Amino acid sequence: MYQKNKDKYIIDLFSGCGGFAEGFEKSGYKSFLAADFDFWSCETFKNRFKNTHVINEDITTKKFKKILKSKMNGTPIEGVVAGLPCQSFSSVGRAQDKYSMRKDKRNYFYKDFFECLKIIKPKFYVFENVRGILSAKPNGTRIFDDILNLSKKLGYVTLDNTSQMVFDTSEYGVPQVRKRVFVIGVLKKYSYIIPKIYDELINKSKEKKIFTVKDAIADLPSLKPGEGEEKSKFENSSKNNYLKKIKNSKVLYNHVARKHNEKDRQRYKYLSKKNWALRDLKKVRPDLIHHDPEHFHNRYTVQKYNLPGKTVVSHLYKDGNLFIHPDYKQERTFTVREAARIQSFQDSFIFLGSRTEQYKQVGNAVPPLMAYKLAKVIKKYCG
């Protein structure tokens, strides 16, 4: 077991708005420092975690490493968590880039993560990414092999079986199907706890119930396009087992519906009321179709009340067509708060910046309840 310290500090790199930190703080760790290149993510983080050193800086620069050393000032750090940018490893990102992301510098941000580990010298680390990172070969060499080699060179041990690193957050209390890789590394002298951590996560930490979109958002005020406020009173007291974990505020934040044109409203209404795909809509209202249903059949997706939500992604900031509200009477896509509910953020968590920036923050975040499950098990074995 690790030596017990009074304060168990973590550092959050590529922190985004603070999903990782939210879960780790709930389990008893304290957020010492967070860093991200995005200004509004940092503002949201500072607003939520008042005592954390938040650095709005490019983590890949020498300047950041100097700031990191200065802020640490010898403070012992238990762990480092990181939600590395995943766009270059995602299948969507590769498909949309003419070079299949081979020339994207984000492929190599993991090197900066390990450079920071050299400075911080934590007892453990956790980083999250999409499954594509396991197979990515931007220049013919498998990136994940290099990640494991760098980890080993710095004296950290992780699991050999990469298939056991993939977790679906819907199995851990998050009302969303979100399959992500979580790499956990510990100092070599504690290597015996790695199989125990993963075994407990895989075999003992899963929830018996899968929560649904209805569990997450059905209690929220009904809105038409363009309606809602950034801050409003919220008197609805109904709580299911999921809401008991996240519904902790009598004030509702970030629940503002996008404005939609009349064609979009009609499109959303038909798709949600009839539970249709685009090809079904084309037969009845071809005037509402401006994408080929055969090639863009997932371009418009109604979230189903009786199932977990689809993976929340940062594309939400461009449009919400993948997150059409299941209540056809509302004729709209998800608000920031609804997306945050699907991501398991507590209602008291306030997203700052424009609505575009808020959607980005929610979509890029690690779900706090998933982070909590990880942190709880890590803390059990790491003392």
Give the SS3 label for residue 19: helix
For 150-302, strand residue ranges (E) read 156-157, 166-168, 179-187, 228-233, 251-256
Question: Do 371 and 23 meet the contact criterion of CB atoms below 8 Å apart?
Answer: yes
HEC profile of 126-181: EEEEEHHHHCCCCCCCCHHHHHHHHHHHCCEECCCCHHHHEEEHHHHCCCECCEEE
In terms of phi and psi (left: phi > 0; alpha: psi -120 to 50; beta: otherwise), the region of 100 is left
Please tell me which residue in 17, 42, 86, 382 is annotated as part of the active site: 86
Question: Do 375 and 26 meet the contact criterion of CB atoms below 8 Å apart?
Answer: yes
End-to-end CA distance of the chain: 6
17 catalytic, yes or no?
A: no
Task: Using alpha carbons, select from 290, 337, 294, 299 the residue that is nearest to residue 318.
Answer: 299
Amino acid found at 227: E
Cα–Cα distance measured from residue 257 to residue 266, given in angstroms and rounded to the nearest whole number: 16
- Sequential DSSP letters for 296-321: STTSS-BPPTTSPBPPP-GGGGT--T
**Residues labelled as active-site residues:** 86
